[in-house]
Amino acid sequence: MQHGSTYPTASLDAWRPETPGRIEFVYLHWSAHDYASLFPAYHYCIAQQSDGTIVVAQTHDLRENMRDVYAKPERPYAQHTRGRNSYAVGISAMAMENATPHDFGAYPITEGLIDGLCVVAARLASYYDIALDADHVMTHAEAAIRDDYFGTTPEERWDLARFSPSTAALTPREALASGETLRVRMRST
């Protein structure tokens, strides 16, 4: 974990949602950084410690997104998914620094981080009574497909469109299948 971090952190096994209120959507991301750096653009960061232990850090107050954030955008809120932050929680795996679809770089997403995303998302969905379907729980890539900014340029997003590097072209179909794979894992958690 980032040195000097003051964010509340728990082991994946011990972490449970505890903020009452209205949440209707869960968005899954990767940070595009190393395994330990935490970012308050998300509510929960799934980090991997040097010994492989997966931890959950709360980096933003979820209550700030329990409203129509666009009605008063000057008030603070976690800005994790373009145009989709009202009544929404953002969860990010700390990974994928300098990644491309064909080379995941020095900090590739790991099975432990994917498991962490799925466990946290499933617990949040249960706590807030959110359906584990593609309309309510989705990757940033899936949101980007729906909102027409899917891809790999700096202003586009492909978070969790693929779980291992490949020289094959990255496609929306692959991204949608990856999102469904995650939801299947969440349902079995």
Q: Starting at the edge strand that comes first in sequence, how are the strands of the sheet with 88-93 ordered?
A: 9-11, 54-58, 44-48, 88-93, 25-30, 137-139
The CATH number fitting domain 9-187, selected from 1.20.120, 2.60.40, 2.70.50, 3.40.80: 3.40.80
Band (13; pLDDT cuts 50, 70, 90):
very high
At residue 82, does pLDDT exceed 50?
Answer: yes
The predicted structure's pLDDT at residue 86 = 98
Identify residue 124 by its one-letter amino acid code.
L
Q: What is the average pLDDT score of the chain?
A: 96
Nearest Cα neighbor of 12 from 51, 67, 54, 50 is 54
d(CA 113, CA 54): 7
At residue 2, does pLDDT exceed 60?
Answer: no
Q: Which residues contact 177 (CB under 8 A, 6 or more apart)?
A: none
Q: Which residue has the tokens 């929960």?
A: 44
